[in-house]
Amino acid sequence: MPSLANIAKVRVCSICTKKIEGDATECEDGHPAGRPSKEDSYFIELPLEPQLKMIIEENLSEIFGGCRKQVLECTEEASSYKDITDGTLYKNFYKEVHSESGDRTCCHLSLMISTDGAPVFKSIHCSIWPLYLCILELPSQKRYSVKNVLLIGLWYGVKKPKINSFLEGFLCKIGMLETEGLLVYNKWEDEFVTFKVHLHCCICDLPGKALLFLHKLYNGLFGCMVCFHPGVRLAIRGNVRVYPYAGDQYEMRTSEATRQHALLAQLSGTDVFGVKEFSVLHNYMSVPDGCPVDYMHCILQGTGKWILSAIVDSKNKDLAFFIDADTQRTINAKLQAIAVPHDMERKPRSLEYIKRWKATEMQHFLLYFGLPLLKGILDDDHFHHLAFLTTGLWIFLKNEISKEELALAGEIMRSFCRLMEPLYGERSETINVHSITHLEEQVKCLGPLWTHSAFAFEAMIAHTLTGFKGTR
Ligand SMILES: [Zn+2]
Ligand SMILES: [Zn+2]
């Protein structure tokens, strides 16, 4: 990662969030710039080509291997799902690319991008939004390591990034690399090779996706970016929208329709099926296919945590699923007595801290500890329901998922979602629970869930924050 200390930051207008160039006294739209203040937002663009070139050169033989596999396998449907490159999004894209004559002279790389807001300074409500990128043709064990993930941009300030100005410079470079390509020296053959790139998918939590693609948030009408479920607004205090289980009643969104809706929203000035405006990203990747549900936020920090919090919350003491204080103490004692293998970095913490559990703690609980600990404590209905979530997730996260297993996991997860309301009430039918119904199709499109989750970028965020604080 290049040092952040030597990189120019661009100030952003506090009214329209467009650039204020150098010492200019006004922004591109003519708003007065005023004196720099703590309330300002900035963005930093980091060099893309040199970083990309370095990673390609360092991993050249493996990248060539990935590119060869891409050409050889793009025309055949995967018999099972082992990686993101077995998904239909990848195969269909390259089937088209490699059928065009003349395109065999260069190699093609697919990029995954990710962004998420992280708070930086305790004193003010300032957050950073780093933009990361990784190369899918690298083998999965190397793809997500801190060494091979690029930091290509950073937004910081009190306001959230305005996406069209945040991404403009980066997407312009991507456009160049898509058509012209990047020349990389191949020391083995003493020749230059052209690499063309394209944006394959984007990993974010729900607010991040809404921000990037200028879609309404999930508490708004048509807040699901995958299908046309409008949601139902609950008649309680606050703006709570739920997505009651509806089987296949609502159609899936297609990338073509989403693009049309975005264009229409831009022209008319009103939102169309939840799409508020045209995002520049629509020109570079397909939505919803390339913009998947992140299971780390959806299941681990979302639905899994929701259920576990509900069953230990004394507000629910009169409900069937509630676990009383004495039983909770017994579970906590058992949980903390578990001797974990060395590759599980965290020892299990007591359920008292459930709100602060990290995603990995939740993953370990759901996949390994939860069912044995809760057997005989939760009633059968709630226990089997939780077992659906564990089993479905376990299959979606396998290293290799057969088509039969995937269909089974889809069925199990749909049962889980359908039973949510009868077991936990109408408020439990959150967007996260609804999103689980989309995961089977998502695995077909993008491979096992671990290949496209925010876990890949978690270590990077800590790394970036350390570097960032050092430059202030
Ligand atoms: Zn302005
Ligand atoms: Zn949906």
Average pLDDT over residues 462-469: 74
Q: How far is the CA of 36 from the centre of ligand 1 (A)?
A: 14
Q: How far is the CA of 15 from the centre of ligand 1 (A)?
A: 5
| Closest ligand to residue 19's CA | 1
- Convert the pLDDT of each residue in 395-453 to its tens digit: 999 999 999 999 999 999 999 999 999 999 999 999 999 999 999 999 999 999 999 99
Identify the band that residue 123 occupies on the pLDDT scale cut at 50, 70 and 90. low
| pLDDT tens figures, 292-338 | 999 999 999 999 999 999 999 999 999 999 999 999 999 999 999 99
What is the CA(39)–ligand 1 centre distance, in A? 15
310: CA distance to ligand 2 center in Å? 24
Q: Which ligand is nearest to the CA of 31?
A: 1
Q: Copy the structure tokens of residue 431.
A: 């967007």
Ligand 1 centroid vs 275 CA: distance in angstroms? Answer: 24
Furthest CA-CA distance within the chain:
74
Q: How many angstroms separate the alpha carbon of residue 292 from the centre of ligand 2?
A: 11
The C-alpha atoms of residue 258 and residue 157 are separated, in whole angstroms, by 30
What ligand has the least distance to the C-alpha of 16?
Answer: 1
pLDDT recorded at residue 17: 76
Whether residue 69 has pLDDT greater than 70: yes
How much distance in Å is there from the Cα of 344 to the middle of ligand 1?
49
Q: Which residues contact 127 (CB under 8 A, 6 or more apart)?
A: 117, 118, 119, 120, 156, 157, 158, 160
Tell me what pLDDT residue 33 has: 83
Both structure tokens of 435: 């999103």
Predicted confidence (pLDDT) at residue 159 exceeds the cutoff of 90: no
Cβ neighbors of 222 (< 8 A, separation 6 or more) are 216, 228, 229, 230, 231, 271, 273, 274
Question: Residue 344 — pLDDT band, cuts 50, 70, 90?
Answer: confident
Give CA–CA dist 233/32, Å, rounded. Answer: 41
Tell me: pLDDT of 140 over 70: yes
For residue 252, the ligand closest to its alpha carbon is 2
C-alpha of residue 17 to centroid of ligand 1, in Å: 6
Q: Tell me, what's the pLDDT at 187?
A: 86
Distance from the alpha carbon of residue 16 to the mean position of ligand 1, in angstroms? 4
**CA 40 to ligand 1 centroid distance, Å:** 12
Q: How confident is the model at residue 345 (pLDDT cuts 50, 70, 90)?
A: confident
Beta-strand relationship, 232-233 and 241-242: antiparallel
For tokens 């699923």, name the residue: 321
